[in-house]
Amino acid sequence: MSEAMPAKGRCLCGAVRITVKNLSKNVGACHCNLCRKWGGGPLMAVDCGADVSFEGEENISVFNSSAWAERGFCNKCGSHLFYRLKANNQHIMPVGLFDDEDQFVFDHQVFIDEKPSFYCFSNETHDMTGAELFAKFAPPS
């Protein structure tokens, strides 16, 4: 993870507080069908690695969204908290949970092959299909 830093975040209502040891400054957009169903549009997220802790864990509900990942949300306000890979506990978290937006750089998009045609970002980004993403990051079977 390049240019990672410690950070704190929280859900909309504050019932869940997040501490991240290595928050990436690189923001990505996920256009997969599941992320778009989860949030109504692309998930704008940052890689937070596995060293993430939560206060208010009793307010976190987890949905087992696939064989390899689960999604967490605040059961008080509904804020999306994380997309977590089961194999290595890696947390991909919505960038909006963290303050100080000026530190972030939108530089990549994934599942670009599933992006609907009704929207388009003007940023120049590194774009990967779902197959390219899995080839790069999926654990060996």
Residue 1, pLDDT > 70, answer no
Write out pLDDT tens, residues 4-45. 788 999 999 999 999 999 999 999 999 999 999 999 999 999
DSSP letters, 39-103, are HSS-EEEEEEES-EEEE-GGGEEEE--SSSEEEEEETTT--EEEEEETTT--EEEEGGGBS-GGG
Write out pLDDT tens, residues 88-106. 999 999 999 998 888 899 9
Q: Return the structure tokens found at 39.
A: 């949030």
What is the model's pLDDT at position 100?
81
Please, what is the average pLDDT of the chain?
92
Range 130-140 average pLDDT: 80
- The CATH code for residues 4-137 is 2.170.150.70
What is the model's pLDDT at position 123?
80
DSSP 117: T
Residue 82: count of CB within 10 angstroms of its CB: 23
What is the model's pLDDT at position 141?
66
Range 46-69 average pLDDT: 96
What is the model's pLDDT at position 2?
55
Per-residue three-class SS string for 118-130: CCCCCCCCEEECH
Beta bridge partners of 9: 18, 98
Domain boundaries, the chain: 4-137
Farthest CA pair distance, the chain: 40
Write out pLDDT tens, residues 116-134. 999 999 888 889 998 898 8
